[in-house]
């Protein structure tokens, strides 16, 4: 289980100190950060507040080894964790979950008599992935400055977007809407004068630049497109003939916050030219799978992960009785439901405070 094994000072400051009692040119310090730094670039070493050149020390988790650097008696040595994070006690790492499952669920007289650790690890990862989509969605926010190419690459662990915005000088988010009347072709075929397709020496199609993309990038973003009903002459005629018959705007084209299109084939997000140079934030859903430190589950969903692993292991066993499989399926479903309710993060007091400003009076 996740236990607190670092001091309050280490947690809040990201610094682990060491008092050097004797003159020395070599020193080893075992770090107790939770989680531990993964690479050398995650740490900085200081002696009496003077940073030590990284060439004088090495890092092999969890040990920092200084060599060839004189440290006098009475000097304080500090290791600074550059990317230390708070709030991590809420989560259980994938390593802890696999270990806990092997201890609590596997063995003679237990739910599962025998299973490979690799199988448990596989089902644990699949559980994290599925839970990230539905129960405890892992939402990340990436921020970039949009360049003249007007595109933003999808993050490595991108699954779907939640919200895309640009940030003004006050840090306020302005939501960017998706555009439905254009696209980004990923197979723009080159053609001859007679409109026939062109091929290379190996018989493959020759590709060029997309005309549609070029025209979209060069569009006048201050005007609504002519193909929009409300900007066409047809609308003017119908409005005159049928007063009050149809009013409104197309939200994706009438806003002043820009527009975007997702290019699934190329793995990027394209923006309108009025957003060039702006700070763009992408709030997206991750699949929960990444580095060892990223693969974790909120403690409210920990039991659901164990039930998920148990069900999948039992259901794939040869000759497993159907009533046993059904039992594990029901336990998994119940644990998932409980996890989802816990992670809803519903706060009655916040709801009451919000509803106080509404027209309907609420007694409390």
C-alpha angle 259-265-268 in degrees, rounded to nearest 5:
45
Distance of CA 115 to the CA centre of its chain: 31
Average pLDDT over residues 268-296: 83
Dihedral, 297, 303, 304, 308 alpha carbons, nearest 10: 100
Residue 351, domain member (yes or no): no
Position 26 pLDDT exceeds 70: yes
31 and 62 share a domain? yes
pLDDT digits (tens, 9 = 90+) for 181-204: 777 787 888 988 998 998 998 989
Pairing assessment for the beta strands 177-178 and 259-263 based on DSSP bridges: parallel
**pTM surpassing 0.85?**
no
Residue 259, domain member (yes or no): yes
259 in Cβ contact with 271 (< 8 Å) = yes
Range of the domain at 245: 141-286
Average pLDDT over residues 113-125: 91
Residue 357, domain member (yes or no): no
Position 154 pLDDT exceeds 50: yes
Tell me what pLDDT residue 347 has.
75
Residue 122, domain member (yes or no): yes
161 and 259 share a domain? yes
* Rama region for 245: left / alpha / beta (φ>0; ψ in -120 to 50; rest): alpha
16 and 115 share a domain? no
Position 166 pLDDT exceeds 60: yes
263 and 199 share a domain? yes
Q: What gap in Å lies between CA 83 and CA 92, rounded to an integer?
A: 19
Position 94 pLDDT exceeds 80: yes
C-alpha pair distances (Å), 272 with each of 141, 147, 210: 21, 11, 16
Position 225 pLDDT exceeds 50: no
Average pLDDT over residues 211-232: 62
Tokens at residue 354, please?
A: 């919000």
Distance of CA 119 to the CA centre of its chain: 25
Number of structural domains, the chain? 3
34 and 167 share a domain? no
106 and 185 share a domain? no
Confidence of residue 133 (pLDDT cuts 50, 70, 90): confident
pLDDT, the chain, mean: 82
Question: How many residues does the structure list for the chain?
Answer: 364
Residue 358, domain member (yes or no): no
* Listed residue (159, 162, 94) closest to 133, CA to CA: 159
Proportion of the chain above pLDDT 90, given as a percent? 27
């Amino acid at each position: 289980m996740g236990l607190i094994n670092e001091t309050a000072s280490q947690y809040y400051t990201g610094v682990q100190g060491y008092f050097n009692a004797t003159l020395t040119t070599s020193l080893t310090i075992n770090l107790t950060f939770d989680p531990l730094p993964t690479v050398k670039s995650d740490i900085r070493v200081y002696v009496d507040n003077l940073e030590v050149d990284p060439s004088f020390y090495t890092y092999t988790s969890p040990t920092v080894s200084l060599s060839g650097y004189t440290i006098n008696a009475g000097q304080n040595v500090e290791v600074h964790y550059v990317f230390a994070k708070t709030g991590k006690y809420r989560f259980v790492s994938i390593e802890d979950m696999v270990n806990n499952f092997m201890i609590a669920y596997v063995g003679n007289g237990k739910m599962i008599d025998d299973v490979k650790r690799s199988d448990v690890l596989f089902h644990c990862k699949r559980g994290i992935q599925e839970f990230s989509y539905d129960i405890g969605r892992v939402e990340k926010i990436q921020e970039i400055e949009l360049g003249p190419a007007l595109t933003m690459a999808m993050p490595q662990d991108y699954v779907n977007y939640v919200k895309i915005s640009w940030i003004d000088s006050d840090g306020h988010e302005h939501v960017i809407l998706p555009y439905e009347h254009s696209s980004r072709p990923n197979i723009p075929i080159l053609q001859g004068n007679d409109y026939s397709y062109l091929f290379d020496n190996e018989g493959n199609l020759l590709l060029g630049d997309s005309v549609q993309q070029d025209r979209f990038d060069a569009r006048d973003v201050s005007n609504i497109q002519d193909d929009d009903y409300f900007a066409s002459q047809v609308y003017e005629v119908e409005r005159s003939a049928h007063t009050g018959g149809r009013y409104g705007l197309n939200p994706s084209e009438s806003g002043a916050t820009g527009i975007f299109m997702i290019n699934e084939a190329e793995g990027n997000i394209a923006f309108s030219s009025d957003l060039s140079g702006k700070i763009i934030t992408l709030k997206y859903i991750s699949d929960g799978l990444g580095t060892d430190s990223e693969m974790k589950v909120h403690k409210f969903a920990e039991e659901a992960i164990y039930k998920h692993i148990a069900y999948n292991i039992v259901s794939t066993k040869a000759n497993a009785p159907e009533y046993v499989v059904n039992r594990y399926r029901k336990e998994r479903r119940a644990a998932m439901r409980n996890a989802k309710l816990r992670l809803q993060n519903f706060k009655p007091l916040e709801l009451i405070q919000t509803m106080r400003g509404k027209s309907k009076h609420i007694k409390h």
